[in-house]
Amino acid sequence: MQHVSVEEIREAQLLLAPVIRRTPMESSRPLSEKVGGPVHLKCENLQRTGSFKIRGAYTRIFRLSDAEKAAGVVAASAGNHAQGVALAAALLGVQATVFMPVGASIAKLQATRAYGATVHLHGPTLSEALEEAIRFAEQTGATFVHPFDHPDVLRGQGTVGLEILEQVPDVQSIVVALGGGGLISGIAAAVKQVRPGVRIIGVQAEQAAAWPESLRQGRPVRRLDLTTMADGIAVGEPSALSFAHVVDLVDEIVTVTEDELSRAMLLCLERAKLVVEASGAAAVAAIMTRPELCAPPTVAVLSGGNIDPLLMVHIAEHGLVAAGRFLSLRVEISDRPGTLAALLAEVGALGASVVDLEQSRLGSGLTLGNVEVSLRLECKGAEHRDQILHRLVTSGHRILDSH
């Protein structure tokens, strides 16, 4: 299958110049220290609609015929592609209909409607929403704008690769989140035709990784169980188009866990002052856990920043636990006066701060005359957390549970 050409991607770049934002490239000292050389963050989370998707969506819709534009467009998405299609259609005066999974982020749902699209919720996963969107296209004559299975979409996404080459001319490694494969296919097509020695690394969420098995079998293979916070890359099956590009142009694909994703989001928020959704932080997670894969200078693409504020609080908390910054434990102590005060004094002497405390005499298995104390502590990191647990155990406290 023929790859999109760098000349076609440059044409898309000219088309998109008055529409999109040339997103900034920020350096990251924590990641640079891990890799042993410069690491830069390509901030597509700061793009219009909060992700790179506007690039491919606008390129695709712009090139429709007048008759096709008059019939409208339809798309399916967990959120980012939906917003990209909705805004692109609005800019081009085209009616957009979008199908989203029932559990789609409220923030992404509201934003898509705010751009003028008609939104329908359908099915528990993106796969069901995609099937319904295709049926709608067949029934109404609207053009289905696939999130990654069209050359024009890849050409638009490939403009990210051209910008990376312009902003970091000596780049050696580019790390990109990977769902359906549209973004990494476009970037790889642009970069490999100009700098074939640049290493392209794709990153999937471990709990929604369809690519490893597809690559093993040499063809797109559907994965049904997609249970990840990274909804933007929870795609069950690559397309033949993206599969051909990835097989030929991408050097390696790795997976990251939910804990690693949450820690990456926390690093972006705390150290880079950037709000990045889980799928957008996948590249950062890979660099944090597998720095040896990346020859510097390295660029991590932050592909999106659309996240519900309530979910962001939950994930930030999850990331703090994964990083050893929070410790929750249940301790059995004597019910004698002064015992709880002594426990808290010991915790304080170890340098931990008490966030929450609850005491109960009703815990199953408690020795008569004892109570169960649930503590939530703020720690300084994984080493400090482990030190606190060790000291409490060696000083004679019975730890019922900790995490």
54-87 core/surface letters (b: 16 or more CB in 10 A; e: else): bbbbbbbbbbbeeeebebbbbbbbbbbbbbbbbb
Residue 1 falls inside a structural domain: no
Say yes or no: 155 and 228 in one domain.
Answer: yes
* Cis peptide bond upstream of 212, omega within 30: no
pLDDT at 341: 86
Contact between 226 and 206 under an 8 Å Cβ cutoff? The reply is no
- Give the single-character DSSP code of 222: -
Based on the number of CB atoms within 10 Å of its own CB, is 113 exposed (0-12), middle (13-18) or buried (19 or more)? middle
Q: What is the extent of the structural domain holding 328?
A: 324-402
Contacts of 338 (CB under 8 A, 6+ apart): none
> What radius of gyration do the chain's Cα atoms show?
24
- 346 & 254 share domain: no
The whole-angstrom separation of Cα 158 and Cα 188 is 7
Q: Of 96 and 226, which is predicted with more confidence?
A: 96
338 and 391 both lie in a single domain = yes
Same domain flag for 34 and 57: no
Across 56-69, average pLDDT:
98
**Judgement on whether residues 112 and 161 belong to the same structural domain of the protein:** no
Q: 284-324, pLDDT tens digit by residue?
A: 999 999 999 999 999 999 999 988 777 777 777 777 777 77
Mean pLDDT across the chain, nearest whole number?
A: 92
> Residue 186: which of 252, 245, 247, 248 has the closest Cα?
245
**Does the structure show a pLDDT above 80 at 87?**
yes
Do 205 and 349 share a domain, yes or no? no
The count of structural domains within the chain is: 3
**Is there a contact between 354 and 377 (Cβ–Cβ < 8 Å)?**
yes
Instruction: Answer with the one of 288, 319, 350 that is the final residue of a domain.
Output: 319
**CATH at 292:** 3.40.50.1100
Q: For the whole model, what pTM was predicted?
A: 0.83
- The secondary structure of 146-184, three-state, reads CCCCCHHHHHHHHHHHHHHHHHCCCCCEEEEECCCCHHH
